[in-house]
Amino acid sequence: MKLEKLVGERFKERPADCIIHSHALMLRGGYMKQVTSGIFSSLTVLRRITRKIENIIRDEMDRIGGQEVLFPVVMPARLWQESGRYNSIGNELVRFDDRNGNSMVLGMTHEEAAVHLVREYGRSYTRYPFMIYQIQTKFRDEARPRGGLIRVREFTMKDAYSFHTSQKDLEDFYQKCLEAYYRIFARVGLPEVIAVASDSGMMGGSVSHEFMLLTPVGEDSIVICRNCDYKANLEAAESIVINENAGDEAPLVKVHTPGMKTIEEVCGFLGIPVENSCKAVVYWKEKTGEYVVVFIRGDLDVNETKVSKFLGESIRPAVIGENSGLVAGFIGPYGLKNVQMLFDRSLMGIGNLCCGANVPDYHYTGLNIERDLGKVEYHDFAKASENGICPRCQKNALTISRGIEVGNIFQLGDKYTKSMNMQYVDANGNLRYPVMGCYGIGIERLAAAVCEAHHDGYGPIWPISIAPWQVHLCCMRPDDQKVKETADYFYEQLQSANIETIYDDRDVSAGVMLSDADLLGVPIRIIVSPRNLKENLCEIQTRDKSISRKVETGQMLSAVQELITELHGRLYSVDA
Amino acid sequence: MKLEKLVGERFKERPADCIIHSHALMLRGGYMKQVTSGIFSSLTVLRRITRKIENIIRDEMDRIGGQEVLFPVVMPARLWQESGRYNSIGNELVRFDDRNGNSMVLGMTHEEAAVHLVREYGRSYTRYPFMIYQIQTKFRDEARPRGGLIRVREFTMKDAYSFHTSQKDLEDFYQKCLEAYYRIFARVGLPEVIAVASDSGMMGGSVSHEFMLLTPVGEDSIVICRNCDYKANLEAAESIVINENAGDEAPLVKVHTPGMKTIEEVCGFLGIPVENSCKAVVYWKEKTGEYVVVFIRGDLDVNETKVSKFLGESIRPAVIGENSGLVAGFIGPYGLKNVQMLFDRSLMGIGNLCCGANVPDYHYTGLNIERDLGKVEYHDFAKASENGICPRCQKNALTISRGIEVGNIFQLGDKYTKSMNMQYVDANGNLRYPVMGCYGIGIERLAAAVCEAHHDGYGPIWPISIAPWQVHLCCMRPDDQKVKETADYFYEQLQSANIETIYDDRDVSAGVMLSDADLLGVPIRIIVSPRNLKENLCEIQTRDKSISRKVETGQMLSAVQELITELHGRLYSVDA
């Protein structure tokens, strides 16, 4: 294709509202255009990239026995009522009535549709296991779309659903799919992506993993152990707290702590370590507005995902009202009435705690939970922390990194098959519920993540496997007849050899030509210029600047073909 | 792929609610499953077919310079308010509010999105012409989905949009696209598709064509001239009426016609030809509920599309209310007050008409419109009729056939660029509105249309270009070791040769095996059976039964490869 025909505008200035590089560079390169918050149109360059990503994913899904299908974007609410998610999911799920007054939803994920499609097919155990997948548009009405293509409302997703007659069979397939995902990420140029344990969220089920590209601009926090191979999303990371200095028992004493509302103020005033305080964190249950107070050791933070999962409903940080019965800044478990209290296991076994007295300007010292409150249940509500103890190897070796989630996989168990009454007859004639797995990859986000991992100040550096074109041919002086003829001839040669080429023969300055080429990020560049041509040479470079070769014009094609092979060789080999 | 792993149920019984063959056969073959009225999931077999159709379309769109993009399914209402269609389109357009209360729509077509995407890119005349297209899900809330995949609410569509600086350039490109469409239809196995003039409907613009597969089960009526090459959708077909026997003038006389409400009754009673009567057809304007009366020659029917287009709004047949001022069965133009009257040009110049007298049980004879009503405007509101006069060659040679619309193309003019203020600077520095064309093909409907054109009583007969697989390999006796080994070896050979093969080695009866093969409609079938194997032969057949060859097992692969070439040769050649 000729660059002058390429639909899309390129520009120099970094748009003001772009926080991350992929957003800025892909806007500047004419990859996409925002239609409204979190909704983009993809232009030619991006669509060429996403089609290649889609085909790599298809290839790997087919390789593990997947069959491509297509579910609808618009579904009857009835299906989602069957699974129970019509009510359990919030505003992210778009609901509307059709012209006949039937309640409909926009597909944000397709577990219900998958069960609907195979409910009859899966009646006999002989048909298991099987996996179906689609590549289709999803809509999720995100509260805060951000980061360009990283967090949007509408996107293309590959979503796959597997069905099994045993947990063991699901686990085996889950492992196969996990490996297929590693191959996909490596093939698109992200061999560094890691799988981390994650929280299943609205999907349900027990075991799940997210695939993370570690990058400081990621929106997820990932806990990684420096000592063993423990890796988990912060939301899901277990925290282990050992109270080495549990402290001696002391009597419960009410002390005057005027105006001291923070843990630091109180502990400083009383001269006790923060680890010996019991902090109160107050939440609202989203549906009812009821208060929940989580007590946790003063030096730790609450992991809201864990609290929400424990309660089975959404929560958010509360503002403490005047008639709440709660005394902001002075809340403690002793004597607190009429409100649900949760205790983090970090408080377990401490003999001597400081906590609020539920009266303005007073705290207690010497609280011993078991002694003063009787039997309480402890659960894990704490956030894992930098240098915290690894729940696997028990060493103080946790680190917290940022990452972009580029895929996720879930073991769903029988959540959907049971609620939607999908059953099979086993070999003994008994009716059973199959178990399911589901497996997602967001296509446009993956493209942006590759850009985030592979770019310089001038533009993306696309891996050859997903680059919009393989070769960017620059005719540096189209007004010079010999240069133009040579470049035209190269273009013909490359096309005849089925090498995808974008050809720039515009009458523009070298600066414009090269900065446009940088923004398109095509891995191989051929420069035809008067100076080199005098010596019958042309220049072949890679976008990442690792290679720059002058070759005789007669050798151009073979040199390019070699370089293509070389660049493919740098990527993960499918047969490895 | 092994047939036993193919997700989807096949069955023998024709489903009760299927009117057309493609619907019944594709349900019976496990091609799709209905989720709710007009919404289907595609199973593996259909998705394999639609992907091939999509790739043929991509190939032809790219060949005429198209660039693939992707527009959103969910769009802000604002865009549709700009073009004016937010208000002008009825319930087919799904409207809903997002979580922040913004009005959104589901894309039923993407003219607005296309203009939005290229409004900045297209600022200079030097960038024209260009064409962008997408293959994406559309939702249209059809009142009456029917015919399986023929008329649905959700479907995949290839929609393309071209932009030009002159009507001439648009016309040239329109012709190129028309030819590309003919190639597409021929390549998927429908060389018989014809382009007919059509009404532009909600798209606006002047010139448009529909591509029609003629079949008695089609829902469209197409007017074709037996004499010249005139072809048009009945909705758009001009009617030409020559009143050869205009009749002599006669005085206006009120006659008693007790209880005679139909044209036939009245004309029979009065002993005059139906061609000398003036029929009244009454409509409601959809928005206001006002009445409109169309007067037309008694032997002709009203084309509602023409009336609606003339009025610029939707109409529907009226029920005549008691307080309407209209006397049902006795309506005539003479003396009719307070209602909009339209006159079809078939009434022009008739000297002596019979019509209702607007009084129960009375008609007039001898009506002469010009004399009795003064100057009236005549327009074309009549339906073309079988054996009617061709508007092109003027011969009485019109026929009316049924057809399925498999594609459409429109010259849109500046309707969208003007309303959405997309302008370019021309060579002289003047601001101008570009003109647009748009070009659509529904993917699943096209698959169903191919099935409608190519099937027998047992199943579809897929053309090799879009068949789900190229070869269907039947191991007729998997319990016979030699048969099984030979079939297994064939399967390996075919896979190594990159021939897409579905392999049936299930332990089922020959009847089940062959009827399943018929339902899948794969063009080439290989039968491995004990009897043939005794002579070291296998059988290679085509699904359409035109070819059945016994070949030595050692020659299987080359015979199949030859046959594939032969079958491709039967289709339209791209380079023709």
Q: Which residue among B6, B67, B143 sits closest to A7, beta carbon to beta carbon?
A: B67
Long-range contacts of A563-566 (CB under 8 A, 24+ apart): A563/A524, A564/A464, A564/A470, A564/A499, A564/A524
pLDDT band at A391 (very low <50, low <70, confident <90, very high): confident
More confident residue, A286 or B94: B94
Residues of chain A contacting residue B47, judged by C-beta atoms under 8 Å apart: 67-70, 134
Residues of chain A contacting residue B117, judged by C-beta atoms under 8 Å apart: 33, 41, 43
Task: Check CB contact under 8 Å for A68 and B74.
Answer: no
Domains A253-379 and A469-570 alike in fold: no
A–B: how many Cβ contacts below 8 A?
157
Q: Which residue among B69, B102, B153 sits closest to A43, beta carbon to beta carbon?
A: B69
* Structure confidence at residue A370 (pLDDT): 87
Question: What average pLDDT does range A426-437 have in this prediction?
Answer: 97
pLDDT band at A204 (very low <50, low <70, confident <90, very high): low
Percent of chain A with pLDDT over 70: 97
Distance from CA of A110 to the nearest CA of B (A): 11
More confident residue, B513 or A259: B513
pLDDT band at A574 (very low <50, low <70, confident <90, very high): very low
* Amino acid at site A283: Y
Q: Of B569, B73, B251, B362, whose CA–CA distance to A94 is shortest? A: B73
* Structure confidence at residue B464 (pLDDT): 97
* Structure confidence at residue A202 (pLDDT): 63
Task: Check CB contact under 8 Å for B5 and A65.
Answer: yes
pLDDT band at A576 (very low <50, low <70, confident <90, very high): very low
Residues near A491 by Cβ (< 8 Å), separated by ≥ 6? A473, A501, A503
List, as ranges, residues 148-187 from A with C-beta within 8 Å of B. 153-154, 156
pLDDT tens, residue by residue, B249-276: 889 999 999 988 888 899 999 988 898 9
Residues of chain B contacting residue A96, judged by C-beta atoms under 8 Å apart: 94-96
- For CA atoms A439, B42, B469, B576, the dihedral sign is negative
* Structure confidence at residue B204 (pLDDT): 65
**A297 near A346, Cβ under 8 Å?**
yes
Question: What average pLDDT does range B478-490 have in this prediction?
Answer: 97
Q: Is-cis flag, bond preceding A129, omega within 30? A: yes
List, as ranges, residues 96-115 from A with C-beta within 8 Å of B. 96, 98-99, 102, 106, 113
Residue B64, helix vs strand vs coil: coil
Q: Is B144's Cβ below 8 Å from some Cβ in A?
A: no
Interface test with A, best of B3, B69, B164 (most A CBs within 10 A): B69
Residue-wise burial string across B140-160, b where 16 or more C-beta atoms lie within 10 A, e elsewhere: bbbeebebbbbbbbbbbbbbb
Residues of chain A contacting residue B67, judged by C-beta atoms under 8 Å apart: 1, 6-7, 44, 47
Q: Is B495's Cβ below 8 Å from some Cβ in A?
A: no
Distance from CA of A24 to the nearest CA of B (A): 18
Residues of chain A contacting residue B43, judged by C-beta atoms under 8 Å apart: 69, 117
pLDDT tens, residue by residue, B83-111: 999 998 989 999 999 999 999 999 999 99
CA distance B5 to B9: 11
Q: Which residue among A5, A74, A92 sits closest to B39, beta carbon to beta carbon?
A: A74
* Structure confidence at residue B575 (pLDDT): 46
Distance from CA of B55 to the nearest CA of A (A): 12
The CATH code that applies to domain A46-210+403-449 is 3.30.930.10
Please say if the pLDDT value at position A71 is more than 50: yes
* Structure confidence at residue A548 (pLDDT): 96
Task: Check CB contact under 8 Å for A39 and B137.
Answer: no
* Structure confidence at residue B238 (pLDDT): 83
Q: Which residue among A8, A141, A156 sits closest to B99, beta carbon to beta carbon?
A: A141
pLDDT band at A244 (very low <50, low <70, confident <90, very high): low
* Structure confidence at residue A245 (pLDDT): 60
Assigned superfamily of B253-379: YbaK/aminoacyl-tRNA synthetase-associated domain (3.90.960.10)
* Structure confidence at residue B576 (pLDDT): 42
Listed in sequence order, the DSSP H helices in B141-166 are none
Distance from CA of A352 to the nearest CA of B (A): 48
Long-range contacts of A282-285 (CB under 8 A, 24+ apart): A282/A317, A282/A318, A282/A320, A282/A326, A282/A331, A283/A307, A283/A315, A283/A316, A283/A317, A283/A318, A284/A315, A284/A316, A284/A317, A284/A318, A285/A311, A285/A313, A285/A314, A285/A315
Q: Which residue among B5, B78, B120 sits closest to A9, beta carbon to beta carbon?
A: B120
Question: What average pLDDT does range B540-558 have in this prediction?
Answer: 96
* Structure confidence at residue B349 (pLDDT): 84
Please say if the pLDDT value at position B334 is more than 90: yes
Q: Which residue among A117, A143, A154 sits closest to B33, beta carbon to beta carbon?
A: A117
Distance from CA of A30 to the nearest CA of B (A): 10
The CATH code that applies to domain A469-570 is 3.40.50.800
Residues of chain A contacting residue B36, judged by C-beta atoms under 8 Å apart: 75-76, 78, 102
DSSP label at residue B216: T
**B353 near B320, Cβ under 8 Å?**
no
Which residue from A minimizes the CA distance to B4?
A127
pLDDT band at A240 (very low <50, low <70, confident <90, very high): confident
Domain residue extents for chain B: 12-219+404-452, 253-379, 469-570
CA distance B388 to B396: 5
Please say if the pLDDT value at position A575 is more than 60: no
Residues of chain A contacting residue B30, judged by C-beta atoms under 8 Å apart: 121
Question: What average pLDDT does range B427-451 have in this prediction?
Answer: 98
Q: Which residue among A91, A96, A136 sits closest to B96, beta carbon to beta carbon?
A: A96
Q: Is B420's Cβ below 8 Å from some Cβ in A?
A: no
CA distance B217 to B233: 15
Average model confidence (pLDDT) across chain B: 93
Distance from CA of A308 to the nearest CA of B (A): 22
pLDDT tens, residue by residue, B338-388: 899 999 999 988 888 999 999 999 999 999 998 999 889 999 999 988 888
In DSSP terms, B438 is beta-bridged to: B161, B410
Task: Check CB contact under 8 Å for B7 and A67.
Answer: yes
Q: Which residue among B74, B120, B154 sits closest to A72, beta carbon to beta carbon?
A: B154
Residues of chain A contacting residue B119, judged by C-beta atoms under 8 Å apart: none
* Structure confidence at residue B461 (pLDDT): 98
More confident residue, B312 or B191: B191
Q: Which residue among B36, B67, B73 sits closest to A73, beta carbon to beta carbon?
A: B73
CA distance A500 to B527: 42
Distance from CA of A284 to the nearest CA of B (A): 21
Task: Check CB contact under 8 Å for A41 and B154.
Answer: no
pLDDT tens, residue by residue, A329-371: 999 999 998 899 999 999 988 888 999 999 999 999 999 998 9
Task: Check CB contact under 8 Å for A47 and B36.
Answer: no
* Structure confidence at residue A495 (pLDDT): 97
What tokens were used for B466? 């879009």
Task: Check CB contact under 8 Å for A8 and B50.
Answer: no
Which residue from B minimizes the CA distance to A128?
B5
Average model confidence (pLDDT) across chain A: 93
Which residue from B minimizes the CA distance to A63?
B1
Residue A350, helix vs strand vs coil: coil
Residues of chain B contacting residue A95, judged by C-beta atoms under 8 Å apart: 96
CA distance B280 to B292: 10
ipTM of the complex in this document: 0.90
List, as ranges, residues 228-287 from B with C-beta within 8 Å of A. none
Identify the residue whose tokens are 């269609």: B85
* Structure confidence at residue A205 (pLDDT): 66
Residues near A508 by Cβ (< 8 Å), separated by ≥ 6? none
In DSSP terms, A525 is beta-bridged to: A472, A541
pLDDT tens, residue by residue, A22-67: 999 999 999 999 999 999 999 999 999 999 999 999 999 999 999 9
A323 CB-contact burial (10 Å; exposed 0-12 / middle 13-18 / buried 19+): exposed
DSSP label at residue B452: H
CA distance B556 to B481: 19
Residues of chain B contacting residue A68, judged by C-beta atoms under 8 Å apart: 44, 47-48, 51
Q: Is B49's Cβ below 8 Å from some Cβ in A?
A: no
Which residue from A minimizes the CA distance to B48?
A68
Please say if the pLDDT value at position B574 is more than 50: no
Q: Which CATH architecture has domain B12-219+404-452?
A: 2-Layer Sandwich (3.30)
pLDDT tens, residue by residue, A460-479: 999 999 999 999 999 999 99
Q: How far is CA A55 from CA A47, A406, B60, B428, in A?
A: 12, 17, 20, 46
Interface test with B, best of A7, A92, A142 (most B CBs within 10 A): A7
Quickly count: other Cβ atoms within 10 Å of residue A388's Cβ: 21
Q: Is A39's Cβ below 8 Å from some Cβ in B?
A: yes
